[in-house]
Structures are given as structure tokens and as C-alpha cells.
Structure 1
Amino acid sequence: MTVIKPSSSGSRGEPVRNRVIDAAERLLRDGKAEFSMRDLATEAGVSFATPFNQFGSKAAIMHALSARRIATATRRFAEKPRLDDAGQRVLLAVGTVVELMLEEPHVNRAVMGWLGTPGPTHGEVLAQSTALWTLAIGAGEGLIAQQQGRSHPALARHLAFGFRGVLSFWTAGELPDDELAPNARDVASALLMLRSDRSR
């Protein structure tokens, strides 16, 4: 999986970055989605310049929070019993990510809302998400004939696009929490050319 690389200079290492990210997560949990970089520095117990030195912008911090969530979803998915069918694995991955999103919906909506925000550098959410779907697809066992001829990397990328689309409507409040899972499954099933089963 692609990860956001930490700065290599001495005091700007991974422990300081994680301290800033942890502080951002606490502020979001406290309902302070509009926190300033000064608020963040205070919460993290670091100098005002540290969040800027580590990330450059609030958008980059939100991308780091997104990367943390994708890493958590990937770990949880990898820990589940291995299924023999690629389509069923993809639907299991969908369920795993949805479950994670709904654990803290207000926090995750705040994070998702920042992903389309331009910053000084682009994020790596697409690569990270594609890596999760690539893991779920595996060798593509059980995909129907039309799908067997498709490039698995292309399918994984399309799943990343499709899932992000559903999440964007959920983030905007147009899709209620109880509709996130069935709609995400429907999109994945359409991409896999499988019959959607909303009762799963």
C-alpha cells in the first residue's frame, strides 16, 4: 500500500507527525471540525510552526487521517477469514470500510469533506484505496467471463472511484448512514457484474 511519507529531518520524524495527527483526530471527535492550525498545535503540545513544518496545510493533515483509515480498513480486511471468491471478497471489503466509516460518522465525514480540497501537494488517497481493492480482488477467482478479461488493476481503480462516489454523497448528507452499505454494495456489484444482494 502506498503511504504518505514522513519528513526525513531529525525532529520532524514519525513520532511528531503521529502526535499532530492524533491531536487532529481528538479535535474532530470533540466536534471541532473547523479547528485552526493554532488550535491543533495547542492540542498536540507542539509549537505553532510544527503542523505546518510536518504537513504544510490542514488539507494534508486530513489526507493523513484518511490514509490512517484506509490502513485500518486494510488491516481489518486482511484479518478476516479468506474467501475463495473475488466478488465475495470485494463485498467483504465494502462491508469492512463501511463499518469503519460508521464507527465515528461525524469524524469520518469531516475527514472525507477535505479530500477534494487542493493543497500544496496532492494526496495519495486514490493509490491507497486502489491498493485495498487490489487486495480484495486477488487473482480474480470466480469473476464471470467478461470480467476475467479485464485488467485487475483497472477494476481495482474503478472500485476506488465507485466507492469514493458513494462516500461523497454520504459525506454531503444526501445518503443516510443506513443507506451507505447497500448503496456501496450495489456499486461494487455493478462493477463486478454480479447480482446485488442488499440483504447481506
Structure 2
Amino acid sequence: MTVQAKICGINHPDAMEAAVQGGARYIGLVFYERSPRYVPPPTAAQLARLAPTGVRVVGLFVEPDDEFLERVVTNVPLDMIQLHGEEMPARVREIRETYGIEVMKAVKVADAADLDGAAAYQDVADRLLFDAKPPKNVAALPGGNGLSFDWTLLAGRTWTKPWMLSGGLTLDNVAEAVRATGATAVDVSSGVEDRPGHKVPAKIRDFLRVTGAL
């Protein structure tokens, strides 16, 4: 089994280089201003152009309005839009049809009922991403909090669309997470940082070396 990896929250050329050279299949650029990983569209455009053919650039948005989406999509070469807020299925469909770009919808998981809700997105999104539900405090971000969820909730589940596993993944636990869930694609952000928003190239390379061997 080949496990593909997405390095999310890239905001510096050094991190981009480490991800590309390490074999990342996806690169995530965060367009959510509250995040320490946020990149303004002009900077994001420069980073996106460093991604070679075969590495897909994913733009992460949280409940974006049409004006902001239009500005980013017009100026940044994205291969996929990731919706990481509370977007309803109709909004996911609308964005997918408007921009003609693949859309991946994040589903925040704390219990089995949260996974049941993912079914509504299978017909409107190209991919799903399962992430840990953020803690209930005002400082929590929609994602990238370094939290994992009970991976056994995904065991034996099947979906009509490809999916990624996210939430608290690190060099030390990603192999266990893949074994528990059957994931063929994983997404990491805080797990390759030494502080919020600061990617460590060596950690990126180490993470990709492990996932590349799974």
C-alpha cells in the first residue's frame, strides 16, 4: 500500500523545498487569516509556483465569501480547494461548480455521529478529509490544533470518494494511524513544526520518509 502525504500550512520556500524533495503528493496553503500558517495571496502564488508537476497545490479556506475565493483562485494556481469550516453541502457544490476545481471537504470528528454526517458530502465533494473536532474554546482553530481523534471510528468504514486522515499526526504515530484506519492519504501540519506556523524542514523530511515506507 502506498500512502500519499499532504504537508499543510506551508508558508516558506524552505518548507516547500523539503516537502517537494521528500516526496509530498500535496502541498497545503492556508487562506484563513486567524491561522499562524496564513499566507497572503501574493506570497501563496510565489510558493505555489515552486511546486513541480505531480505535486498538487491545495488551498485551505474556512467559510470563504465569494469575493475572497475569486481573488485567491484568480491569482494563485490551485489544484484543489479544501473547505475546513462549517460549509453545508449546497455551498460545497456551489464552489465546486463555480470554479471547476476539485473540492475536498473536511469533516470534524469526535464520535461516530460525526462520521455519519460525512455521507451528505460524498455527492458534492471530490474528496473527504477527516480531522479532529477542535476544542470548545475561542482560541481554537478549525484545524491544525495538534489533536487526534479515535482512529478506530474509521475502521471498516467505506466511502464513495477518496479521503485523507488528519489530526495530530506525527512521525511517531502516523504508522499506527494508517494501520488503524486503512488510510491511503494523510495530512500533517503541526506535527512537522517546532512552534505554531513554523515548519521544520528536517521534520518534514522525516515524516515523508516514514509515510513513503508504509
Normalising by structure 2, report the TM-score.
0.28
Normalising by structure 1, report the TM-score.
0.30
**Greater per-residue strand proportion:** 2
**Greater per-residue helix proportion:** 1
Point out the structure with max Rg over C-alpha. 1
